[in-house]
């Protein structure tokens, strides 16, 4: 933890915190720390309420969420321009928009695109999937493109970067910082989980800028509550759906479906409708499982409240 005195402390959660709730400090959290002379670790007494949080389904638990980062101002989604994965991008956009903050898409490795035309095609395609998000095209070969990212993370702000491993996140961060950040990882570590974690998610300060939170090792991006995120990421389908005859239209074979009509006209790609439906189904089934878990707990009178469930 980076404390107000600018020192970094190794921390552990207080026993009370561990007993009371499953709430754990994540990168970006503000916490109340207790320092002691005798103990080599500072104690996290309290985790302050989060203003924003990036949440996914816990990959190992059916009915629990997992917060990956807190209190940030922007989500940066990195995808390689030369090997873009639209389905994954749609999912990343849903998770990012669910947080409520500004979202930008960074298309990396532009130099690996075969031609400028290919670059333009991918850029246009991505542009058509987003509304207000900024889409940046970058390459480690092009210093100016990196500067454009810097201006997205001004001093006083925090950005979280998500993206599959290998898309170029570390390369970008190293260029923003001006040296290999890995070497300074210990100094800036704000990971409340301490040293035993294998993946370090840390806040990295950009000179003359804000902080960037790298999210290495985030494999699965299962949806948790995502209704708002889906609405925002699939703005085109949501807008069309207002003209469907039935309010609860599933856009399958109902008569008077405006979304299907748009697919027939080729205004919306069939694949996009398919992933919209799949993501809707995913978040609905998570909601079902959570409700089921809640019912079970009430019935058995489980004494321990799992706060995550109530968020
Ligand atoms: P991360 O896993 O997202 O942090 O990805 P890395 O930053 O480690 O990049 C993965 C690989 O892609 C490395 O071999 C980088 O050198 C390479 N790479 C990253 N950005 C670029 C780029 O803009 N152009 C090219 N040609 N290679 C890049
Ligand atoms: Zn419909």
Q: Does the predicted model carry a pTM greater than 0.95? A: no
- Which pLDDT value is given to residue 136? 96
Q: Which of 78, 85, 141, 171 to mutate to test the pocket of ligand 1 (most atoms within 8 A of CB)?
A: 171
pLDDT at 186: 36
> How far is C-alpha 140 from the geometric centre of its chain's CA atoms?
23
Residue 301 is predicted with a pLDDT of 55
Measured distance CA(73)–CA(198) in Å, rounded: 26
Residue 24 makes CB contacts below 8 A (sequence gap 6+) with 13, 47, 192, 193
Calculate the CA 230 to chain-centre distance: 14
Residue 163's region, left for phi above 0, alpha for psi from -120 to 50, else beta, is left
**What was the pLDDT predicted at 189?**
38
Q: Which atom of ligand 1 is nearest to the CA of 165?
A: 2
Rounded to whole angstroms, the Cα distance separating 200 from 194 reads 9
- Going by the DSSP 8-state scheme, the letter that residue 233 receives in this structure is H
Mapping DSSP onto H, E and C, the string for 126-180 reads: HHHHCCCCEEEECCCCCHHHHHHHHCCCECCCEEEEECCCCCCHHHHHHHHHCCC
Three-state DSSP class for 32? strand
Atom of ligand 1 nearest to the CA of 173: 7
- Find the residues whose C-beta lies inside 6 A of ligand 1: 108-109, 111-112, 139-140, 163, 165-171
The Cα 97–Cα 45 span in angstroms is 31
pLDDT < 70 regions, the chain: 1, 3-4, 6, 21, 181-201, 217, 300-311
Output the pLDDT for position 190.
41
Handedness of CA 186, 189, 191, 192 (dihedral sign): positive
Q: How many CB atoms lie within 10 A of CB 25?
A: 24
Do residues 135 and 105 lie in contact, with contact meaning Cβ atoms separated by under 8 Å?
yes
Work out which ligand 1 atom sits closest to the CA atom of 110: 23
Please identify every residue whose CB atom is under 5 Å from ligand 2, which is an ion: 244, 249, 251, 257, 259
- What is the structure's pLDDT at 141? 93
What is the reported pLDDT for 96? 96
| Token digits of residue 278 | 């799949």
| Ligand minimally distant from the alpha carbon of residue 259 | 2
């Amino acid at each position: 933890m980076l404390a107000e005195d600018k020192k970094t402390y190794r921390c552990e959660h207080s026993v009370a915190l561990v007993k009371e709730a499953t709430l754990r400090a994540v990168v970006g959290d503000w916490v109340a720390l207790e320092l002691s002379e005798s103990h080599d670790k500072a104690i996290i007494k309290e985790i302050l309420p989060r203003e924003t949080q990036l949440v996914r389904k816990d990959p190992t638990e059916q009915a629990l969420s997992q917060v990956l980062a807190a209190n940030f101002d922007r989500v940066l989604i990195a995808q390689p321009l030369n090997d873009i994965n639209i389905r994954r991008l749609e999912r990343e956009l849903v998770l990012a928009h669910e947080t409520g903050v500004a979202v930008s898409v960074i298309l990396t490795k532009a130099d690996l695109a075969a031609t400028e035309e290919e670059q333009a095609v991918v850029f246009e395609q991505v542009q058509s999937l987003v509304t207000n998000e900024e889409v940046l095209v970058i390459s480690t070969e092009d210093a100016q493109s990196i500067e454009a990212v810097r201006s997205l993370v001004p001093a006083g702000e925090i950005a979280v970067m998500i993206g599959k491993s290998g898309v170029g996140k570390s390369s970008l961060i190293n260029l923003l910082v001006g040296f290999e950040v890995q070497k300074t990882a210990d100094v800036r570590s704000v990971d409340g989980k301490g040293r035993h974690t294998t993946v370090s998610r840390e806040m990295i300060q950009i000179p003359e800028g804000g902080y960037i939170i790298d999210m290495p090792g985030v494999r699965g991006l299962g949806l948790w509550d995502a209704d708002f995120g889906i609405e925002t990421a699939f703005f085109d389908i949501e807008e069309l759906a207002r003209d469907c005859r039935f309010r609860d239209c599933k856009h399958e074979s109902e008569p008077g479906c405006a979304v299907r009509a748009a697919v027939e006209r080729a205004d919306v790609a069939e694949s996009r409708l398919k992933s919209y439906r799949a993501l809707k189904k995913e978040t609905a089934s998570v909601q079902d499982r959570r409700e089921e878990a809640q019912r079970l707990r009430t019935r058995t009178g489980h004494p321990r409240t799992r706060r995550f469930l109530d968020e």
